[in-house]
Structure 1
C-alpha cells in the first residue's frame, strides 16, 4: 500500500487487515537546533522497517521491562510510525508518545507496535521518536537548545494533522496520549498555545505529575555542569561522548531525571497546575504499585491523577493486574497494545495472565470520548 504524504510517497507493509508504515521522517534537525521540515522525495520510500531510535543508554527500568538492543542513530531519528486498517474512512487517531524519563525509549520498538490496537478497534495509531537526554533537553538557548524534545513532539502533531487523512485518519479527531514522560509531554502539548488546537482528547498513563518542569536558572546550572563534565565542544563531540556524560549529572536519591523540560521554554509556558483544563476530555490513571520500579519512595504519580481528573472532563483508572513485581510502572503497556510476546523477556510480566479490556477502553475513548465507565471521582480498576 502506497500513501502520498506532503513530503513524498511511502510504501507500507500489510498483514491483510492492518497496514504498517514505519520509520517515516517527520522532520530533520541539526544538533541543538529546532526541528525543520524534512526535504521532499519523489520515489516511493520504503516504510516497512522501523527507523532508528534517538541516541540513548539503557533505561534505568530495564530490570523491570527488560533490556533493549539500542538501535539508535542521531541522524534520522526523527521518525514516526502509522498503523491503519485502510485509507478510505475518516477514523479517530491516537498519537502516542513513549516514556523513558526523557532519556530513553522509541516509538519504533515492538513494545509499542500498533497492529493489534488499530486492527481490533479500527482506529489509526501513530507512535513517534523525539530527541532524548542532553540532545533533547539540555537548556542552552544560545546554542539553540531550548526544549528540543518538546519541539520535536509538536512537529509530530503538525505532521499528523497535515498527513493523517491520507492514511484514513481524521485530522479533527486526534487524541494525544503517552505513558510516563510521554503522558507528561502529552498534557503540555494540550496546554501550549502553539499545539493545543491540534489536541482533541488526552490519554495520560502514569505521568510523573509531582515533578514540576525545571526552572530556567536550575536548568542553566545543570547545562553548565554537563558541559564542564563533557570537556568537549558539544557541537563536535560524538553522540557516544554526550551519552556517557549524562549519568554524571545524577545525584543520590534523585527522583527526577537530571534533564527535563524547562518551564518557560518552548512548549512549557506554565505549570500544568496553573493551566485551565476544564475543556479537556481526559482519560488518566496509574498502576497500583508504581514506585516498585524505582525502588520505593514517595509516589510521584497518583496525586496528580486526582487533580487532573477533577480539573478536566476526566475518566480515571487504576491498573491493578499484578505480575511477579506487583503492578509496577509500565505494567499496563502490553495490555494497551496487545504486545505480550514483545514483553516475553520482561521481569514484570506474567504472560499467563488473561488480557483486560484496557486497550478497548482507550480506543473507545479515542473514538467517542467515553471509555465505558463513569467519570471521576469513580475509578475503573483493571484487575
Structure 2
C-alpha cells in the first residue's frame, strides 16, 4: 500500500498503480470503477493486463446495459441515470479504512448486487459500503457483472451461457490477487449478496474449482426456489431472442453485432414471451443454466446439493413478505390486488414461502448436516405506512445505512430514520460484521425486528 491517508490516495497493486479518493465521510478511501477483466460481447472474460503509470479510480463504473427498472417504486430514487450504461462493465469498487496500516490484513466483504440478473450496478448509491468499512474495519469489494441477455443468453455458436458467473469468478480471482494492496486479507473473504446476488453465490458454491476463492457466505433473500435454467429452457429463450431480432433488425440479424438497443429490445420481448399468458411463469428468462460451466455436474432437478456441501460458514435468510415487492412493481398484479386484495396477499405469502423461505431453510439444513456452521435469520420489520410489510429488499437500507440514498424509499414510508432504521441497522451491521471477522455467529433463528 502507498499513501492511503492522502486526499488522492495512490495504491500500488500487482497490476499497476491506481489513484482513488477520500469518501465524503472522511474516514474511508475508495477506488471506483477499476476494471478487473475485459470481454467482447458474448465472450469469456480475460484478466485486465498490467499497465504503467497511475490509473484514475475516482469515477464510478457504468452499469451493464439494461432495461428500465421499477425498483424505484420500492427503494426510492437512485443515481442510475448518472452512472450511464456500457458493455465495458466488468469493474470493481474497493473501499478501505483511511488509516489502514501497511502491514494490516483486514477481513474482506465482497458485495454482489441483485436485480433478477437483469438490472443493477456496482456503484449505485444504494450500495455504498462506507458504513460497513467504518463500523467493521473491513475492506469491501463491490462487483459488477454482465446482466440479462449479455450475461445469461445460452445460444451455441453465439454465447456459451453463464457468462455472468464467469465474470464473478474473474472478479474473485482479481480480489485474491489484488485486495492485499488495499489492506485486505485474501484468506478471509466473505461473499455477501441479495436476491440474484445470493442466488449467484449459491451457484459459485456449487462449483468445486471456485470454492477456494472465498471463505464465508451471507445469502440474503435468494430466489433459490426458482432453481436453475435447463438446456431446454435456455434453447427456448434463445429461440425467442432470434425471432425477436429477425423482427427488429431484419432476418438473420446476428446478436453479436447488432446495436445494443436492438439487443435490449429483443431481451424485453423474450422475457414477455417466456413469462407466458398473464406473466404467470415466474422463472427468469435469463439465468444461470445447470450443466454449463462452471455448473458442470449440477442438476436442475435438485440444484443446491453441491452448494450445501461446499463447507463455507453461512448466514442465510429471508424477509417475512418477500413477494409483496413484486406485487407492487408488476402492473398486472397490482391491479389484481386492488380487486382481490385478500387473495393476492395469500398468494404472495405462498410465493414467499415457496420461492424464498422454504428453499433457504432447506439449504441451511443440508449445509448444517454436511458439517458447515450455519445461521439463519428472518427479517420481520416493516414500515407503518408502506403497505409492503417486510418486503423483498427491505433489509438493504439497514445493511448499508446510507440515509441520503434510502430515506425516500417507499418501503420505509412512515418510519423514522433515527428511531427505526438507525438502531436496527447498527445491530444488523454488527451481526454481519462479527460474522465476517469470524468473531460471532448470529442466532440460528434470529428475527430482525424492533
1:305 pairs with 2:313: no
Q: Which moved more, 1:97-106 or 1:345-354?
A: 345-354
Q: Which moved more, 1:38-47 or 1:99-108?
A: 38-47
Aligned to 1:274: 305
1:38 pairs with 2:108: no
Aligned to 1:367: 437
Aligned to 2:335: none
Q: Which moved more, 1:88-97 or 1:69-78?
A: 69-78
How far is the alpha carbon of 1:276 from its aligned partner? 5.6
Does the CA contact (< 8 Å) of 2:206 and 2:304 recur in 1?
A: no
Does the CA contact (< 8 Å) of 1:27 and 1:155 recur in 2?
A: yes
Give the distance between the partners of 1:351 and 1:57, measured in 2 at CA: 33
How far is the alpha carbon of 1:307 from its aligned partner? 1.0
Give the distance between the partners of 1:72 and 1:141, measured in 2 at CA: 30
What are the equivalent positions in structure 2 for 1:48-127 lying under 5 Å apart? 48-68=58-78, 69-70=80-81, 71-85=83-97, 86=100, 88=102, 89-127=104-142
Of the three residues 363, 375, 382, the one matched with 1:315 is 375
Q: Which moved more, 1:154-163 or 1:192-201?
A: 192-201
Give the distance between the partners of 1:310 and 1:340, measured in 2 at CA: 36
Does the CA contact (< 8 Å) of 1:210 and 1:301 recur in 2?
A: yes
How far is the alpha carbon of 1:380 from its aligned partner? 3.4
Q: Summarize the Cα distance change of 1:361–1:146 in structure 2 as closer, same or farther, 3 Å threshold.
A: same
Secondary structure in 2 matching 1:301: helix
Secondary structure in 2 matching 1:64: helix
Give the distance between the partners of 1:112 and 1:321, measured in 2 at CA: 20
1:8 pairs with 2:75: no
Q: 1:314-340: CA deviations, max 9, x gaps?
A: 111111121212211001111111123
Which of 1 and 2 has greater Rg?
A: 2
Q: Summarize the Cα distance change of 1:8–1:87 in structure 2 as closer, same or farther, 3 Å threshold.
A: farther
Q: Summarize the Cα distance change of 1:7–1:144 in structure 2 as closer, same or farther, 3 Å threshold.
A: farther
Give the distance between the partners of 2:15 and 2:85, measured in 1 at CA: 22
For normalisation by structure 2, the TM-score amounts to 0.81
Aligned length: 380
Does the CA contact (< 8 Å) of 2:380 and 2:447 recur in 1?
A: no
How far is the alpha carbon of 1:374 from its aligned partner? 2.9
Gaps spanning 5+ residues in structure 1: where?
Answer: none
Aligned to 1:380: 447
1:25 pairs with 2:35: yes
Gaps spanning 5+ residues in structure 2: where?
Answer: 1-8, 247-252, 328-347, 368-372
Does the CA contact (< 8 Å) of 2:319 and 2:380 recur in 1?
A: yes
Q: Summarize the Cα distance change of 1:9–1:54 in structure 2 as closer, same or farther, 3 Å threshold.
A: same
How far is the alpha carbon of 1:151 from its aligned partner? 0.5
Does the CA contact (< 8 Å) of 1:281 and 1:369 recur in 2?
A: no
Aligned to 1:358: 428
What's the C-alpha RMSD, in Å, of the aligned pairs?
Answer: 1.7
How far is the alpha carbon of 1:280 from its aligned partner? 2.1
Q: Summarize the Cα distance change of 1:374–1:73 in structure 2 as closer, same or farther, 3 Å threshold.
A: closer
Aligned to 2:215: 200
Does the CA contact (< 8 Å) of 2:16 and 2:52 recur in 1?
A: yes
What are the equivalent positions in structure 2 for 1:117-266 lying under 5 Å apart? 117-231=132-246, 232-249=253-270, 250=272, 251=275, 252-266=279-293
How far is the alpha carbon of 1:5 from its aligned partner? 2.2
